[in-house]
Amino acid sequence: MTSDMAFFEFLCRMGDNTLVLGHRVSEWCGHAPVLEEDIALANTALDLIGQTQMWLGLAGEVEGEGRSADDLAMLRDAWDFRNVLLAEQPNGDFGQTMMRQYLFDQAHVLLLEKLAQSSDERVAGIAAKAVKEVTYHVERSRDTVIGLGDGTSESHRRMQAALDLLWPYVGEMFTDDEVSGIMAAEGIAPEPSSLRAGWDAAVQQTMSEATLVIPDSGFAHAGGKTGFRHSEHLGHMLTQMQWLQRAYPGARW
């Protein structure tokens, strides 16, 4: 794999994570349990989609084949997406959505802090901007996980179920491969495995405050960020997200 190809893959991973999770979160718009949560989720989704514009915009530039961020988002099918499996998991109930958000946000913020020091100044610029937004995301998702985990017996039960359900998807965020090896060698991005200890410590602290028990299993699903095997949920999501371009190819505002 050439370093340009690895760079493109890396940028798609960044942009597809924010795109797919941003779309998932936006599905709550108008449906959240209370108005403040509805607004907060919509704001989070908006930040993530904005970050997608920057990551996929740069991906198109690096690829050099004239594809825009919109082209990459709307004209690729499931097998070309490079998001982690966690991001595409369905919303479930509000607690499950917030658990997914926290598990992702905590990794996202640690990664962006490192990327702000990237040897590529475009990557560093995007990360420095995004980390300000994601700091707010993790503050809120963490508070919500603690509030609901250490809440009523019903909210506690649901949060524990959400953690048990989503835990097998966290490992994929920290696996290294050829793409990450090339990025690390060039100083563009850290090896994902190097973020695990910091993430574990933060998540351990949060779950303990939330009175939730982290599952005793290291099993991790794989296949999202390599595109090798997405879960069945991504394709269904894309039929919604890409509906307009699929029904009216080339449609513009």
Q: Using CB under 8 A as the criterion, which residues of the chain lie in contact with another protein when the complex forms? A: 36-37, 39-40, 43-44, 46-51, 53-54, 121, 124-126, 128-130, 132-133, 136, 139-140
We find the least distance from the C-beta atom of residue 156 to another protein, in angstroms, to be: 22
CA dist., res. 184 & res. 119, Å (int): 10
- 87 or 170: CB nearest another protein: 87
Structure tokens at 46: 């908006």
- 100 or 230: CB nearest another protein: 100
Q: How far is CA 225 from CA 12, 94, 129, 145, 213, in A?
A: 9, 25, 23, 26, 27
186 DSSP assignment: T
Structure tokens at 213: 């028990």
- 41 or 179: CB nearest another protein: 41
- 40 or 212: CB nearest another protein: 40
- 32 or 202: CB nearest another protein: 32
We find the least distance from the C-beta atom of residue 235 to another protein, in angstroms, to be: 25
We find the least distance from the C-beta atom of residue 167 to another protein, in angstroms, to be: 26
We find the least distance from the C-beta atom of residue 18 to another protein, in angstroms, to be: 9
We find the least distance from the C-beta atom of residue 39 to another protein, in angstroms, to be: 6
Smallest Cα–Cα separation from 50: which of 15, 88, 25, 13?
15
Residue 4's H or E segment, with its range, is: helix 3-26
Structure tokens at 121: 């100044």
CA dist., res. 24 & res. 81, Å (int): 15
We find the least distance from the C-beta atom of residue 125 to another protein, in angstroms, to be: 3
Could you tell me if residue 223 is left (phi over 0), alpha (psi between -120 and 50 degrees) or otherwise beta?
Answer: left
Cα pseudo-dihedral 44, 222, 188, 183, rounded to 10? -160
- 58 or 182: CB nearest another protein: 58
**Amino acid occupying residue 61:** E
We find the least distance from the C-beta atom of residue 67 to another protein, in angstroms, to be: 19
- 133 or 172: CB nearest another protein: 133
185 DSSP assignment: H
